[in-house]
Amino acid sequence: MKTSIRPEIWQRAQRGHLQTWVDYARDGMARAGTRAAAWRAILDAAAREAPFRPGERILDIGCGLDTVLDFIPDARGFTLDSLAAALIPLGLSPAARHTAGVFEAMPFASGAFDRVFLMNVLDHVRDPAAGLGEIARVLAPEGVLVLSVDTYAGGRHFAKRLHKWWARLRGARTKHPWAFSAANVRDLLRRAGFAPGAPSHVAGTKARRTLFIARKNAH
Ligand SMILES: C[S@@+](CC[C@H](N)C(=O)[O-])C[C@H]1O[C@@H](n2cnc3c(N)ncnc32)[C@H](O)[C@@H]1O
């Protein structure tokens, strides 16, 4: 499977994201609690895999304007988003420390975090495999990755992949340059050094939104 896209395709997706966040802030939806139920279901599932500890170092990658950190008490919260410089003045959560950057090359020390969230980001990036490798690097041994992404099965997956391939070839604007199956995501996770659990549906979200909880391998 090809693992990176041309920079200009990703830059166009970024412009689409920025417009989404500007609209989101203008409409007063940020942190309005509209998605609180989904975040809580995700946090419950993450806690079943590994209970949250006070003072845990948590990184939310690709947080947008709606970071999950707002729902985790007593965390040492950090975010990384390629659009952070624009998101901060739009009202990004004051509860975390924000960094601008891409997950394919993160400005954090190895082993700096106990838990990483990658919510609805993997199909928006330039290089999913490189970024997952970076997450493995910044996580402490046996650290936990909580990842959600849209997945497709069977003929729908085939059609979506074809559509994305054609969009990338033409340089067409798409906010989602990638279309994964659940098996693709698990394979990417294993190759990056994670032990992924079984995928599940994210309660309170559209049917294709899939949750993966994966522990970094000890070695
Ligand atoms: C669909 S939003 C997800 C926002 C939030 N996590 C949520 O679930 O609502 C995707 C976010 O990922 C960011 N992003 C895209 N590519 C990225 C990359 N390579 N590194 C870091 N952030 C990236 C975008 O700027 C955007 O804010």
Helix (H) or strand (E) holding 90: helix 84-91
In this structure, the residue with its CA closest to atom 14 of ligand 1 is: 62
CA 51 to chain CA centroid, nearest Å: 20
pLDDT tens digits for 97-152?
A: 999 999 999 999 999 999 999 999 999 999 999 999 999 999 999 899 999 999 99
Which residues form ligand 1's pocket by a CB distance below 6 Å? 14, 17, 61-64, 66, 80-83, 102-104, 119-121, 124-126
- The structural domains of the chain, ordered by start, are 7-216 (3.40.50.150)
pTM (two decimals): 0.95
Provide the pLDDT for residue 33: 55
Provide the pLDDT for residue 2: 62
pLDDT tens digits for 164-207?
A: 888 878 877 788 889 999 999 999 999 999 999 999 997 777 88
Atom of ligand 1 nearest to the CA of 131: 19
In this structure, the residue with its CA closest to atom 18 of ligand 1 is: 102
pLDDT at 74 exceeding the cut of 90 = no
103 alpha carbon – ligand 1 mean position (Å): 9
Rounded-to-integer distance, Cα 117 and Cα 121, Å: 10
194 alpha carbon – ligand 1 mean position (Å): 21
Whole-number Cα distances in Å, 5 to 164, 167, 215 = 11, 11, 27
167 alpha carbon – ligand 1 mean position (Å): 20
